[in-house]
């Protein structure tokens, strides 16, 4: 594969993004090609890093995780070494599910999933706020999610 995506690649990516458990035979049928070249394309997309991973999208509430929090975290220093120290530390915190370095008043935006508000409060008071580089935390609790669409808008790609 030359690195340029064609309509078949986009079709494959769209189907995998929306239905990760689709068989290669069904994927090939939807893309309008036979199974062996479809599998070669999928492997090439994986090798190029376009397909980064596969996972099941779990329902947190069904598993007892009822609280979603977004926290803006400002650090005492923005030098590269300190930013990396914080990024390494968050890897140890299982409640932090996503972390983004951002612009504006905060340095990082964290997505935190907890069983309940007490579990979040415990994490906040014993781990996040006590980490030496953290200077300020602004918390936003999610009341309701109106849209949760994983992936990227492949329909906007032009071939």
> Rounded to two decimals, what is the model's pTM?
0.86
Find the mean pLDDT for residues 6-17: 93
Task: Look at residue 158 in the predicted model and tell me its pLDDT.
Answer: 77
Task: Look at residue 1 in the predicted model and tell me its pLDDT.
Answer: 40
Task: Look at residue 150 in the predicted model and tell me its pLDDT.
Answer: 86
What whole-number percentage of the chain has pLDDT above 70?
A: 97
Residue 35 has φ and ψ, to the nearest 5°, of -65, -45
- Mean pLDDT score of the chain: 94
Q: Is 112 exposed, middle or buried (0-12, 13-18, 19+ CB in 10 A)?
A: buried
Contact 111, 48 (CB under 8 A): no
CATH number of 61-141: 3.40.710.10, 3.30.70.920, 3.40.50.300, 3.40.50.920? 3.30.70.920
Architecture of the domain delimited by 7-56: Orthogonal Bundle (1.10)
pLDDT, tens digit, 9 for 90 and up, residues 84-128 = 999 999 999 999 999 999 999 999 999 999 999 999 999 999 999
Domain limits, the chain: 7-56, 61-141
46 three-class SS: helix
Sheet bearing 96-101, strands edge to edge: 96-101, 108-114, 67-75, 134-141
Q: Is the pLDDT of residue 159 over 90?
A: no
Q: Whose CA is closest to 106, among 132, 75, 82?
A: 75
Task: Look at residue 2 in the predicted model and tell me its pLDDT.
Answer: 44
pLDDT, tens digit, 9 for 90 and up, residues 31-74 = 999 999 999 999 999 999 999 999 888 999 999 999 999 999 99
């Amino acid at each position: 594969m030359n690195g340029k995506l064609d309509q078949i690649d986009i079709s494959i990516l769209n189907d995998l993004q929306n239905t990760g458990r689709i068989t290669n035979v069904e994927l090939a049928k939807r893309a309008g090609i036979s199974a062996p070249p479809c599998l070669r394309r999928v492997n090439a997309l994986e090798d190029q890093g376009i397909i980064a991973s596969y996972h099941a999208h779990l329902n947190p509430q069904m598993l007892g995780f009822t609280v979603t929090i977004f926290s803006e975290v400002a650090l005492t220093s923005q030098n590269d070494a300190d930013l990396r120290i914080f990024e390494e530390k968050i890897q140890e915190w299982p409640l932090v599910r996503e972390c983004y370095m951002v612009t504006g008043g905060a340095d990082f935006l964290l997505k935190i999933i907890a069983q309940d508000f007490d579990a979040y409060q415990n994490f906040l008071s014993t781990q996040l706020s006590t980490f030496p580089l953290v200077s300020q935390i602004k918390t936003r609790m999610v009341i309701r999610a109106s849209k949760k669409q994983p992936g990227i808008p492949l329909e906007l790609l032009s071939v």
